[in-house]
Amino acid sequence: MRVILQRSRKSSVSVDDKVVGKIDSGLVVLVGFTFNDNEEIIDKMINKVINLRIFNDENGVMNKSLLDVNGEILSISQFTLYADTRKGRRPSYVNALGGEEATKLYDIFNDKLRSLGLHVETGIFGADMQVSIHNDGPTTIAIDSENL
């Protein structure tokens, strides 16, 4: 499992020119799954995402978590996080989990975040989405479950 976190202000996702998800302040979480990902990995990733201290405290130091600032999440499925660019000029996506399996894990990821009392908005899995991110900082962090 891979995620890209972007600290955000007023981000949104649209499909067919209709906004399907938006947040004010929090994190845009781009989420990708690969083979052998499971609920245990999702739990570890969620723990890292919600507790990572990347929000400013009263002194302007990144010392607060998403939970500390009551932040929201805009979760976007993104299989391209598993692009393999080692050969040629066209990325290979053979390591990206697709279809029903990826949809199931994506839903579990979002449902578990919501069960913690977080406000979670999403795009539409598999849709052609237009994502507007007002990256705050800018702060962008990549996390791979292999490094948890």
| Active-site residue flag, 78 | yes
Domain count, the chain: 1
98 pLDDT tier (thresholds 50, 70, 90): confident
79 in catalytic set: yes
Using a 10 angstrom Cβ sphere, with 0-12 exposed, 13-18 middle and 19 or more buried, the burial of residue 82 is buried
pTM over 0.75: yes
Q: Which of 6, 33, 34, 79 is catalytic?
A: 79
pLDDT at 145 over 90: yes
Q: Which of 6, 33, 34, 78 is catalytic?
A: 78
Residue 80 designated active-site:
yes
* Domain region containing 127: 2-147
Of the candidates 12, 9, 4, the residue with the CA atom closest to the CA atom of residue 137: 9
13 confidence band (pLDDT: 50, 70, 90): very high
For the stretch 60-86, pLDDT in tens is: 999 999 999 999 999 999 999 999 999
- The CATH number that applies at residue 139 is 3.50.80.10
